[in-house]
Structure 1
Amino acid sequence: MTAEHRSPAPTGGLRASHADRDEVVERLRDAAAEGRLELDELEGRLEKALTAKTFADLEPLTADLPADTSPENDAPLVLKGGVHGVTRAGRWRVPPHITAHGGMGGIKLDFTRTECRLPVIEIEVHGQMAGVTLIVPPEWEADTDGVEPGIGGLKDKTTPDRAPGAPLVRLTGTGGMGGVTIRHPGRVHRLRHG
């Protein structure tokens, strides 16, 4: 991780989520596939990643690896809420196209800690039974004109204050029964995640 991508020091003590650990595991496996890590070194780091409690535990595991520039970033991401639901939060790779099916458990996509340099993110949403919720940084803007509200409706709580170079989230699809919500982080979210 380069200095510009490293989190500010105070976040190091924050507790890591399953998604945060999974992201580090994925980066380590990619690095091993590229020949950057030996097998025994990979195993040691994977064990530490899977048992990490805080960001301070995770950061050293990828500090000597280059920033992720793999072409996988362009691959579409398809998420299905199923029965138990799906949450993407923390630091994760944002592809240019995402399809989210809320299912019975719902989907929550939190973009507030991602490092996204895409000018536009196309997200196809299908609220289905439990709905889809998206949380985007305050400087991002949303275009929700392509969403059919359905029974559950569409709630766009974002403000049109797009910063220069910030992504535009373009939504298409339907709210279904569960509906679709896109919003900026609230006060509680900001207190938890800094």
Structure 2
Amino acid sequence: MTAHTPDAASVPWAEQRASHADRDAVVRRLQQAAAEGRLDFHELDERLEQALTAKTFGALAALTADLRGADGEAGEPVPGRPPVLKGGMHGIVRTGRWKVPPRLTAYGGMGGVVLDLTRVESPPRVLDFEVHGQMAGVTVVIPDDWSAETDGVEPGLGGVKDRTTPDRSPDAPLVRLTGTGGMAGIVVRHPKARERRRLEREGRALAAR
């Protein structure tokens, strides 16, 4: 009987296997927390032992969950945890040349989130985005030869609008969306005419260098 190997994309983040580097990063944060007086010697010793033997990201995250100074906004992110983008009041637009992670979570909030993937660098073959439209929505812009799957999104009141074409190149990336539409909904589309003209200008400028 052949053993079944789980698809990494289907395994929850907390259950994914941690590496030596992930464990070392948590050890450093625990030591920093002790130096700041957040942990006493006994607590540090106990947590260090657990960190060095932890198997999953979830086990590591539990060791620093109450250490906001070492594992919060002022410190390093939890190893392996997908980045979270929150639109808040003013919104977030990720565009231009940027390194897109294989997984991320986006909350539209009151200002909305736009993820423009038309110029990302070395994209993964499969990108798993958890998106929540909330009040202002989330828009994902993908190149013409990429494709998207939106079956995993609960429409909510705002719905899900997939305006992409099925003309996907065999080797091009796939964007898989899960989450909730919320009040404003989720949109995934290819570039509009104005965006195409900008991309063409940038392409010509790069070719002329």
Question: In the alignment, residue 158 of structure 1 is paired with which amino acid?
Answer: T
Moved over 6 A (4+): none
Once the two structures are superposed, what CA deviation does each residue of 1:16-44 show, in whole Å capped at 9, x if it has no partner? xxxxxxxxxxxxxxxxxxxxxxxxxxxxx
Question: In the alignment, residue 120 of structure 1 is paired with which amino acid?
Answer: V
Over the aligned positions, Cα root-mean-square deviation in angstroms equals 1.8
Contact 1:75 1:95 in 2 (8 A): no
Confirm or deny that 1:190 pairs with 2:196.
Answer: yes
CA distance in 1, matches of 2:196, 2:138: 20
Which residue of 2 is the match for residue 161 of structure 1? 167
TM-score between both structures, scaled by the size of structure 2 = 0.56
Distance verdict in 2 for CA 1:156–1:189, change over 3 Å = same
Percentage of identical aligned residues: 63
Question: In the alignment, residue 91 of structure 1 is paired with which amino acid?
Answer: R
Question: In the alignment, residue 106 of structure 2 is paired with which amino acid?
Answer: A
Question: In the alignment, residue 139 of structure 1 is paired with which amino acid?
Answer: D
Confirm or deny that 1:152 pairs with 2:158.
Answer: yes
Which residue of 2 is the match for residue 140 of structure 1? 146
Which residue of 2 is the match for residue 93 of structure 1? 99
Once the two structures are superposed, what CA deviation does each residue of 1:130-179 show, in whole Å capped at 9, x if it has no partner? 00001000000001000011001110000111112211000000100011
Query: 1:93 is paired with a residue of what secondary structure?
Result: coil
TM-score between both structures, scaled by the size of structure 1 = 0.61
Which residue of 2 is the match for residue 32 of structure 1? none
Flag structure 1 segments of 5+ consecutive residues without an equivalent. 1-73
Of 102, 110, 120, the residue aligned with 2:116 is 110
Contact 2:112 2:133 in 1 (8 A): yes
Contact 2:99 2:123 in 1 (8 A): no
Contact 1:117 1:166 in 2 (8 A): no
CA distance in 2, matches of 1:117, 1:93: 7
